[in-house]
Homo-oligomer: A and B are copies of this chain.
């Protein structure tokens, strides 16, 4: 619970209203009650603002006049709401200490302020920094490192030689440092190429539940500062992902691809291997990125949703497209 005046001070925002008002949580504009804080980021929600019964609303200067309840003025209400959500964060935060069931190598280094949950395993040579939280069942392989203030949720596995920077959040059941998919055709089958590189993750990186990031074949797979990666994303060996790039759920990036900074990927995008994507490239959901991209902008592939009976006809014609093109050209020549 925060008093409105305190909340405004914490968010560094001017406000209009009762500084003693008790704010106990956050809610959407449509559902917020008198003890809840909400926000309006675009004029699209103006009708909801006019009806608002929230305790207070974070608004832009332009919309402030029309707010029927207390408000806080922000030049970016959505970002201010994000900061407010951090004040109301309700995720359990275990205190420092090593659970009795943890297995910690005497040759590892664990900072006394770190929290190691039940059944965590820390191998030799590993380093766990100050204020790190490793939840139940997390595995940290040999010589791997987790930097100050990072948290790893239950079940996640870091193989050997995987470095996580500071203030990262890795959700449950992720895997970092698994072998890349490297094989040479052999005499009687595939010959494994042992994956000798590691993984290097920068600061303030977030990685989703069940995501997998393979170790490099010779050098490291690299995730730069500020990258956000959603659930079940796959990053193959030798990739590098540039600063602040955002990758939504279930994307897959094939091996040795270099992705620039500030890119965004919608869900289920597939990126071919051995290509380069420049900064500020954006890909709509389910796009197949078949080649390098050297110009910023928005990219797509695939076809849109149709009734199946209509889709079947279009799909048949798609297979005839080259023939249709030839027939069209022939007609034009007449």
A residues sitting closer than 8 Å to B (CB atoms) are: 25-28, 31, 76, 78-79, 81-83, 85-86, 88-92, 99, 101, 103, 117-119, 121, 123, 135-137, 139, 141-142, 153-155, 157, 159-161, 169, 171-173, 175, 178-179, 181-194, 196, 204, 206, 208-210, 212, 214, 217-219, 225-226, 228, 230-232, 234, 236, 243-244, 246, 248-250, 252, 254, 266-268, 270, 272, 284-291, 293, 297-322, 324-325, 327-328, 331-332
CB pair B234–A183 under 8 Å, yes or no, is no
Complex Cα–Cα for A322 and B249 (A): 31
Q: Closest residue to A206 on the B side, CB-wise?
A: B192
Copies in the complex: 3
Of B85, B209, B322, the residue contacting A193 (CB under 8 A) is B85
Query: Which one of B89, B297, B301, B310 contacts A194 once the chains associate, using CB atoms below 8 Å?
Result: B89
Q: List 7 A-B contacts (CB under 8 A).
A: A121-B154, A135-B139, A155-B175, A178-B231, A212-B231, A313-B321, A314-B322
Which residues of the other chain, B, contact A236 by a CB distance below 8 angstroms?
231, 249
Q: Give complex CA distance A199, B332 in Å.
A: 60
Asked if residues B209 and A231 are in contact (CB atoms below 8 Å), the reply is no
Determine if B252 and A234 form an interchain contact, defined as CB atoms under 8 angstroms apart: no
Please tell me which one of the listed residues B181, B218, B228, B289 contacts residue A190 in the complex, with CB atoms under 8 A apart: B228
Residues of B within 8 A of A248 (CB): 181, 254
A155 with B153: CB separation less than 8 A: no
Given contacts A173-B157, A252-B267, A309-B298, are A226 and B190 in contact (CB under 8 A)? yes
Query: Could you tell me the distance in whole angstroms from the C-beta of A191 to the nearest C-beta in chain B?
Result: 4
With A196-B25, A250-B250 already in contact, the answer to whether A79 and B184 are too (CB < 8 A) is: yes
Chain B residue nearest to A94 (CB atoms) is: B123
Least CB distance from A154 to B in Å reads 5
Asked whether, in the complex, the Cβ of B92 is within 8 Å of the Cβ of A119, the reply is no
A305 and B285 contacting across the interface, CB-CB below 8 Å: no
B301 touches A311 (CB 8 A): yes
